[in-house]
Amino acid sequence: MCIVNYWYICDAFAELERAEAEQGHPLGIDPNDEQSVRRAIESYVCPWVRRLKPECRALLMTTLAYFLKKPTFTGAEVFAQVPDLTMGRPDDERRIFEWMWKSLVPGIRYHDIDTSACTEDNDMMKADMLTEGMAECAP
């Protein structure tokens, strides 16, 4: 069984907010432009993901695929967790996470990831498991 938690996606996406805080200025991301968003994700989110333990990286990818397959996932719940990110809200928040997938896992469609054995547990207190390497499952 695989336990997914949308807070894992929030942690990854929050790298954009952290980058702005560290640099002391906005990243200048156009939320409706795929190249602008992917450039930022590849510069700040991808390096963070590569530092995760392999099983945690796999869990993040499975989690992202799970939520992208879920028709009710809009991405708004993730944007709500990065209030200091200066990037405006895109016309289609979900599309940002599709672009995130394309940047993190080039050449693989999220539709092809088996998420049938996954269950959701969106407990914020369990989100640290991803970065602490104590993931409950390795897809």
Number of domains in the chain: 1
Is 138 contained in some domain? no
- The model scores a pTM over 0.85: yes
Is 33 contained in some domain? yes
Quote the CA–CA distance of 55 and 51 in Å, as a whole number: 11
Span 68-102, pLDDT tens digits: 999 999 899 999 999 999 999 999 999 999 999 99
Span 106-119, pLDDT tens digits: 999 999 999 999 99
For 16-68, give the DSSP string.
HHHHHHHHTS-----TT-HHHHHHHIIIIIHHHHHTS-HHHHHHHHHHHHHHH
Is 137 contained in some domain? no
The identity of residue 72, as a single letter, is T
